Amino acid sequence: MILVTGAAGFIGFHVAQRLLRDGESVHGLDSLNDYYDIGLKQARLNLLREHQGFTFHLADLVDAKTLARIFEDHKPDHVVNLAAQAGVRYSLANPKAYIDSNVTGFLNLLEACRSGPVKHLVFASSSSVYGLNTAMPFSVHQPTDHPVSLYAATKKANELMAHSHSHVYGLPATGLRLFTAYGPWGRPDMALFHFTRSILEGKPIDVYDQGRMQRDFTYIDDIAEGIVRTIHRPPAPDPAWRGDAPDPASSRAPFGSTISATTPRSNSCASSPSSRTASARRRSSASCPPSPPRCRSRTPTPPTSPATSASPPRPRSKPASAGSSSGTGAITGPDFGESIPPRSPYFLRR
């Protein structure tokens, strides 16, 4: 049985749905918080409930006793942690929510996994951990010690906490540094929804940094496929790892922190404040024009939760054939949300 936390969320829903279609038994866990429209989360759950292999638990990772009871009663073999307080801007308005969910909740999950025992914990880290790093392309071999938001700091903390549990208790764990996702059933606080809503309502689109930013997005099915491929490929200790020349990408513990990759789908000239100007692995050949007349600059504010329906689906491209590489971890190579050359392979670490 596979436990998927954050199952009513954007990525969690698609991962759970993919697993169910593959014939897996899936238990979904979600607190159904009101960060954005709960109706959208309920609608996702209704689709998951159409599968006989799906069981839902209304629970919060912060509730350690309830979480321990779920593990004791159902004994998941694998855990995919996609539950977290998301959003960079919102961490400015409600920092405590990030510590509660992303740190305390994650610790409770680690403790439940080691008591299981769980064969493999796959958890969502974030591209935000790269922070002030400007070296391109991003790499798991680079240090990530300068986060620029509390959200990023909590995701970095997740990687460190998971590694310590891997080292002390032998818990196989893989952290995936996911980049921006888009697609059907997406989060309404994301930029594409704001752009679309403004266009439909004839309103100006808010643009930051005078429209000079570029942002790439990854189609949700590609992200779900990468996560599903990771689940049954737990990392192993890397015998080549050296304490006198430590490589952040591997460990002598069964732990892997990796950048996950597929071909990106779109590039946006208008961008949210959380976007980075130079984070793309390969910049688009088309440069973004200056701010158009109908675009305006705006001071960042925490996202609201407008009710919205799913964005229309778009066909996704299949990743290149899997290859192999040395070391620990599950998926590496180019990242999920940045521009990459079409020839870039989709690596699977074995």
Under DSSP, the state recorded for 257 is E
Q: How far is CA 281 from the centre of its chain?
A: 18
Backbone angles phi, psi at 26, to 5 degrees: -125, 130
How does strand 266-268 pair with strand 322-323?
unpaired
Q: How far is CA 40 from the centre of its chain?
A: 19
Distances from the Cα of 126 to the Cα of 149, 212, 216, 254, angstroms = 12, 23, 15, 20
The torsion of the CA quartet 142, 113, 232, 259, rounded to 10 degrees, works out to -20
Q: Which member of 36, 130, 151, 208 is catalytic? A: 151
Give me 276's structure tokens: 């980075």
For the question of residue 219 being annotated catalytic, the response is no
The beta-carbon contacts of 340-347 under 8 Å, at least 24 apart in sequence, are 340/137, 340/261, 340/263, 340/264, 340/281, 340/282, 341/281, 341/282, 342/263, 344/261, 344/263, 344/320, 345/320, 345/321, 346/226, 346/261, 346/262, 346/319, 346/320, 346/321, 346/322, 347/261, 347/322, 347/323
Alpha helices (H) in the chain, listed in sequence order: 10-21, 38-48, 64-74, 90-93, 95-98, 105-115, 150-169, 191-200, 220-231
3-state secondary structure of 180: coil
3-state secondary structure of 81: strand
Tell the residue number behind the tokens 């439909």, with chain if given. 200
What is the distance between the alpha carbons of residues 72 and 257, in angstroms, rounded to a whole number? 28
Which residues are tagged catalytic?
151
